[in-house]
Structures are given as C-alpha cells and as structure tokens.
Structure 1
Amino acid sequence: MKLRKISVAAAAALVLSLTATACGDDNNDSSRTGSGSGKKIRVGIKYDQPGLGLKEPDGSFSGFDVDVATYVAKELGYEPDQIEFIETKSSDRENALARGDVKFIAATYSITDERKQKVDFAGPYLLAHQDLLLNQDSDIVDGTDLNGKKLCSVAGSTSAQSVKSKIAPKAQLKEYSSYSECIAALKSGAVDAVTTDDSILAGFAAQEQYKGQFKLAYLKLSNENYGIGVKKGDTATVDKINEALKKMVSDRAWDQALKDNFGLAYSYDPSSKIGVVKD
C-alpha cells in the first residue's frame, strides 16, 4: 500500500493549550475515583474497526482509539482493569452519553457543529479524511471512474452520498450492515470500492489477511476531526481529558499508538504533534 502521513487537526492546538480548570460540580464525577475504589469507568468504543476499535476473539480490545481511551482513563484515575469498554455504534453515541451509559466516547467520533449541540468534545486528537479503498489492481484513479461501478458503504452512512454528490453521481451504491462486509465484498470483486474515513479503511487494509491487496485513492473528500465525546455540560471532564491528551503527546505515547496501529498503512512522522498538520 502506498504510504501517507496521518496527524491531528490544527484546531487542537487551541483546545489542548488551555490549562485545565475545575468547572461545574464534581461531586458526582466518577472519574475522580481511582484504583482501589472497586469502581469502574465505562468508555464507549467501536467493536468492529481494525486499527481503531476492535473486539478481539479472546475478548480483549485493540486499536488507536482504544489506546487513546486507555491512556485518558488512566489519567482520570483508572487502571486498565477498571475500564469497561462499551460498544457504541454511530447511531447511538449521543444517546449513550445522554443516558449516562458511558463516561466518554472515543470511537472515530468526528466533531461537527450539529453534534456539538448535543454533546461536548475534548480534542480533536486525530485528523482523518473521507476516502476510497480499492483493490490493488484497480484502474480507478480520481473517483470519477466510479461512475457506473459499485460503491460500498454502511447503511445510514453519509460517505457514499458524499461521493455520489461530489465526484461520481452514477456510482451504484451497495449498502451493507458493517464495513467488514464491505471489505469482504471488495476482496471478492462484488464491489469496486469502499468509502469511509481513510483511518478506518487503512485499519482494515493493515489486517494480516488483507496485506498488499488494497490501496487508498487519497482523494481527501472531507476533513474528519476525531474528538472524545462527553455528556453535554460536563466541562470538568472535558478539561481533564484535554490535559490527558496533551500529556499523551508530550510523553510520546500518542506517537507510539500511531505507529502500533497504523504503521502498515501510514507513514510515521515523529515530528507530528497536536496542532501540526502534515498531510
């Protein structure tokens, strides 16, 4: 697979340079209770995105979002064995926070103005772009070649509609219930391309069974600033998470997580830091 760089959004420089302050009422803030308390922290992640949030066959979890969430939880006072990872699908993220099902969500959660009306965000901690994943021998070059060909996306996603509206209005949309199904369809030739964030696509392409079979188109159809979602109004937790993210960058744990999870699909730039975009 062709290599490229991945980094965090420039806007994070403003967010993460702020000094954390105690805001609101912390009396019910479970993140203040640390090891030895017997309490756990519930964190929302994806279960089906290799490289980002994946539940392994043995019940463990892996991925960049998992590593970020684990680091943040530790800074909030929780050891790894005190973290309960909860699957939060895209359609239920806002509700999960509002209900109190999870303390925070790290699940390829793009920060948008619409979502900020319902939840608060820490970060962003990663910049991704909407893209296409293609078979290695595909003759699709600029996306317009998709006209008349089969494009796969997950049901309910806006990614495919973005492709159709911007570059390939005559693409034939095929919707599946998961990206795993889309990737399998791409491998078998049932579809010609899969679309979603490049970080998600790269995670699938980096899996052992798919090594060398796929490539990204590098179209950068959108900017997706991944943030950590927190219940609306919980500014104290937002401040603490921002401090945790800033520390994760300064002690290079962020760099290591990037290499560990995207090393096969992205080039690693050791000078990348929150606030410096290098695409």
Structure 2
Amino acid sequence: MFTMKLRKATLTIATGLTLSLALTACGGGSDSGDGDGKITIGIKFDQPGVGLKTPDGEYTGFDVDVATYIAKELGYDAKDIEWKQAPSAERENLIRNGDVEFVVASYTINDERKAKVDFAGPYFLAHQDLLVRTDETKITKAEDLNSKKLCSVTGSTSAQNVKKELAPDADLQEFGGYSECLNGLQSGAVDALTTDDAILAGFAAQKEHQGKFKLTGLKLSNEPYGIGLKKGDKELQGKINKALEKMQKDGSWDKFVKDNFGSANYKNEPAPEITETS
C-alpha cells in the first residue's frame, strides 16, 4: 500500500513538473532570444535627446525609443533590454566582440565602417552643424573655424570632416564625450562644438543650457544614422529593417521625434528610405 501511494505521489510530482516546464516555455519570455530572455543594445549615455543615461539610472532619447521599438519587434519587452554604453570609438569593437546584439548610437553609415560591420536602416538623417555661445557673431560659416578652437569627440565623423574638408587649420580638440566639449564651450575654453545637429539640439534644449547656446544652422554634411550589427548577419538586418519600416508607417517614428526634439524647435528631415539591405 505504501509503495502504491509513493508511486502515485511521484507520478503527480512528475506530471506537475512537466506541465510547469511547458508553461514556462510558452509564456512570458522572448521567442527569439539568446537563451536568458535578455538582449544587450549599445547606445550613447551622454547625448540628451538622442541617448542619455540620467542621474537616476533611466535611459532616454530618440535612439533609446527606436532601440526599444526594435527590441519589441524582435520579441523582447523593455525590461528585457540591457543597455551598454557605446562611445563613438568603441562601437565597432562592441559589435565584433559580441558584447552587444546591435548598436543604436547616432551611428553614421559610411564605407569605412561598412568594411567592419553591417548596418540596417538608415532610420534618421542628421546634418553636421556647430553649436556656439549665444553671443558668438564671428562664426557664420565653416571657414571661420580656421582661427578658432573647435571641440569634437574622438572617433566621430564630424571631427574627421572638419580636419579633412571644412577647416584644416582649426585648432581641433577631441575628447571622449560631448559633455567635456560642452563644458569647454560654456567656460570659453573652446569656441565651437561640432557634431550632428540632432545631438546639438538635444544639448541646447536642456533646461540648464537654455539661452546659453545656439546652432549656426549650417548643414555641413549628411549623416544617415544606421543600426550597427555584426558583419554578415543578414537575418538580423532583415528583421531590423522590417521593424524600422513598421515604425515609420504606424506613426511611432514621428512621435519619437516630437517627444525628444520638439522643445528645441529642431527642423528634422523626413524619415529616410531604408537602403541597407545587403
């Protein structure tokens, strides 16, 4: 009798365990995950309006909204995202080393980078511009930078563009983050900060900076932002492109632009056509 009861109890436990495992497999997690239901995405941590980690540990900005939308289309909830800082000079390494699934970090598509990584998109078209102090009157065109101290970020296309094409005699100072350039601009240590207009608009729109800085409105280059991913991963590229197309069609793209750049009166370009498909 005791043996029969033990067998029944064992069978009940085994059945319950099997059912529990089946329910776990069917519910809640991602259906396209990496095994632990998490996805790691590279973003900028120091670009207000684009990609910013706030003092209380929140992540905000246009790139964050775009990345969250893509992750959802791939099967991940916002809580499943692990954000990793992706400085300009480290983006390719993070992708190639597999430290991130993809990078959404004001990442301009160009041939030099496409030799190392693949892109999906583009999902946004920015232009290189200059941020100056509101009382600045002598910088009205790119050539004016030749006699000025200019700040940019190490590894950015903006810094390279200035030295090669726009103002080769500018006193270019490169730092690891935009916040250092902004501090230099505010203190008078540098005369201008150059990067993409979307990033500059984000800085200018910050409450503590309002009224201190202005954009010159110079469209010095075209900067198509793409989603960086491991070279040869055509399956992921296709899935992300599909998510970007849906994001444009359902109105989410316009909402993200308004939410993040609206207060800066930033005149953005329309959503660009997706061209990175192979």
Q: TM-score, normalised by structure 1?
A: 0.81
Q: Which runs of 5+ in 1 are unaligned?
A: 1-29
Runs of 4+ in 1 over 6 A off after TM superposition: none
How big is the shift at 1:161? Answer: 4.3
Q: What secondary structure sits across from 1:173 in the alignment?
A: strand
Separation in structure 2 between the aligned mates of residue 67 and residue 149 of structure 1, nearest angstrom: 36
8 Å CA contact 2:158–2:195 kept in 1: the answer is: yes
Task: Please give the secondary structure, in 2, of the residue aligned with 1:118.
Answer: coil
Counterpart for residue 42 of structure 1: 40
For residue 200 of structure 1, report the CA deviation from its aligned partner. 1.3
Corresponding residue for 1:216?
A: 215
Partner residue of 1:14? none
SS of the aligned residue for 2:147 comes to coil
Q: Match of 1:126? A: 124
In structure 2, give the amino acid aligned to 1:163: V
The aligned residue for residue 255 of structure 1 is 254
- The CA distance in 1 between the partners of 2:186 and 2:251, in whole Å, is 36
Counterpart mapping for 1:167-186 below 5 A: 167-186=166-185
The one-letter code sitting in structure 2 at the alignment partner of 1:95 is: N
User: How do 1:39-188 and structure 2 match up within 5 A?
Assistant: 39-139=37-137, 140-188=139-187
State which structure, 1 or 2, has the greater radius of gyration over its C-alpha atoms: 2
- Which runs of 5 or more structure 2 residues have no equivalent in the other structure? 1-28
Aligned partners of 1:92 and 1:178: how far apart in 2?
A: 12
Change in 2 beyond 3 A, CA 1:273/1:175: closer
Decide whether aligned partners of structure 1 residues 230 and 156 sit closer, same or farther in structure 2, where only a CA change above 3 A counts: closer
The structure, 1 or 2, with the larger RCO (C-alpha pairs under 8 Å, 6+ apart) is 1
Q: In proportion to residue count, which structure has more helix?
A: 2
- Matched residue SS, 2:254: helix
SS at match of 1:263: helix
Change (3 A) 1:177 1:91: closer
TM-score normalised per structure 2: 0.81
SS of match in other structure, 2:263: coil
Residues matched between the structures, number:
244
Partners of 2:55 and 2:75 lie apart in 1 by 28
Q: 1:95 to 1:156 in 2, by over 3 A?
A: closer
Confirm or deny that 1:239 pairs with 2:238: yes
Contact 1:258 1:268 in 2 (8 A): no
CA distance in 2 between partners of 1:266 and 1:167 (Å): 26
